[in-house]
């Protein structure tokens, strides 16, 4: 799923790593806040202050996403689900679990933990920012904290859309799964909602692009495409897992065994066996006994 990644740190036994695309987004966010958002909202500050505010807000955004993913991870570990790692990438973060939750309750608790953490961060930031303004703390500080409150609120709103594999989609899937006891059906419903929401984002992205908001438009378009792809893959994953459940190797083995004498040259093997029979493995025999594959 990811390209080149690099390790960052380890917390509560969970490794946090970043995809290279994350670095690009950190720089883009810092830049757009330092030259666009903050100068428009807080007038007449030196450029260095805007850059410091942009860097601080970017760092806070990074911390908020790590905390959101950590909330998923810690609850998963508590429910006995092994955690692989947290990966930060262009669209945020992913808590990669070693296996899928085994019960609807596990899935519900793991999924809801992230948005709850983001609600807490958003609330704390907004309260701090309002109290800070009343206490006449510098606008540089309250502005950054206000921004973090708003961005966490947006993370919550986006994540509670019941579109699988977003958190809201996972919550809905766990409820449907519990209701009918059918994980495949629950995944089918929520993944199709995920796909529809992706389509909706693509639509408003294209609309934004042609009506004078090219950056926001492209962004929504990319997230929409990503979501459609992720929902389709998640559903296929469940289908394949179901199809293979309980199957034994005998179902997938080739009953006819082709043997190759150990004296056959590689050229003969390629010409006479691989090109004609298209098998990937041949049993190599040494007269009467087999010597390898």
Please report, as ranges, the residues that interact with Zn ion according to CB under 5 A: 114, 167
Q: In the sheet that 259-261 helps form, which strands lie side by side, from edge to edge?
A: 259-261, 283-286, 289-292
69 is catalytic: yes
For the stretch 251-260, contacts whose Cβ atoms lie closer than 8 Å and that sit 24 or more positions apart, written own/partner, are 254/279, 257/283, 258/282, 258/283, 259/283, 259/284, 259/285, 259/290, 260/284, 260/285
- Shortest separation between residue 96's beta carbon and Zn ion, angstroms: 12
17: left (phi over 0), alpha (psi -120 to 50) or beta: beta
Query: 3-class SS at 245?
Result: coil
- What are the structure tokens assigned to 80, written together? 């006995």
d(CA 210, CA 41): 26
Rounded to whole angstroms, what are the CA distances from 21 to 3, 5, 218, 236?
8, 9, 16, 26
Q: Give the residue with the Cβ less far from Zn ion, 114 or 169.
A: 114
Q: Give the residue with the Cβ less far from Zn ion, 112 or 148.
A: 112
Task: Note whether 176 and 209 are within 8 A (CB).
Answer: no
* CB-nearest residue to Zn ion: 114
**Phi, then psi, of 260 in degrees rounded to 5:** -125, 135
Q: Give the residue with the Cβ less far from Zn ion, 233 or 264.
A: 233
- Shortest separation between residue 166's beta carbon and Zn ion, angstroms: 8
Q: Give the residue with the Cβ less far from Zn ion, 19 or 34.
A: 19
- Shortest separation between residue 167's beta carbon and Zn ion, angstroms: 4
Picking from 169, 236, 241, 163, the residue whose alpha carbon sits closest to that of residue 202 is: 163
- Shortest separation between residue 91's beta carbon and Zn ion, angstroms: 11
- Shortest separation between residue 118's beta carbon and Zn ion, angstroms: 8
Q: Give the residue with the Cβ less far from Zn ion, 106 or 167.
A: 167
- Shortest separation between residue 234's beta carbon and Zn ion, angstroms: 14
Residue corresponding to tokens 């030259």 = 35
Q: Give the residue with the Cβ less far from Zn ion, 114 or 162.
A: 114
**Phi, then psi, of 136 in degrees rounded to 5:** 60, 40
Which of the following is catalytic: 69, 99, 247, 256?
A: 69
Positions annotated as catalytic residues are: 69
């Amino acid at each position: 799923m990811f390209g080149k990644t690099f390790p960052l740190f380890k917390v509560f036994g969970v490794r946090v790593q970043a995809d290279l695309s994350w670095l690009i987004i950190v720089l883009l966010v810092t830049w757009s806040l330092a030259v666009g958002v903050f100068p428009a909202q807080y007038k007449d500050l030196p450029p260095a202050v805007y850059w410091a505010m942009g860097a601080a807000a970017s760092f806070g955004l990074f911390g908020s996403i790590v905390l959101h993913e950590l909330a998923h991870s810690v609850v998963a570990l508590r429910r006995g689900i092994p955690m692989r790692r947290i990966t930060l990438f262009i669209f945020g973060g992913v808590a990669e679990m070693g296996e899928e939750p085994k019960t609807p309750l596990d899935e519900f608790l793991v999924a809801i933990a992230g948005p709850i953490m983001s609600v807490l961060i958003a609330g704390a930031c907004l309260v701090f920012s309002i109290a800070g303004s009343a206490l006449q703390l510098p606008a540089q500080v309250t502005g950054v904290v206000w921004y973090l409150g708003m961005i966490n609120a947006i993370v919550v709103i986006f994540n509670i859309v019941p579109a699988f594999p977003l958190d809201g989609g996972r919550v809905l899937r766990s409820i449907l799964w519990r209701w009918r006891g059918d994980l495949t059906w629950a995944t089918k419903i929520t993944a199709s909602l995920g796909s529809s929401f992706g389509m909706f984002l693509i639509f408003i992205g294209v609309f934004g692009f042609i009506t004078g908001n090219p950056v926001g438009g492209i962004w929504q378009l990319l997230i929409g495409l990503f979501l459609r792809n992720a929902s389709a893959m998640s559903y296929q994953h469940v289908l394949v897992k179901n199809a293979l459940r309980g199957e034994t190797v005998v179902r997938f083995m080739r009953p006819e065994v082709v043997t190759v004498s150990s004296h056959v040259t590689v050229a003969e093997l390629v010409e006479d066996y691989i090109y004609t029979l298209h098998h990937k493995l041949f049993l190599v025999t040494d007269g009467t006994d087999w010597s390898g594959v």
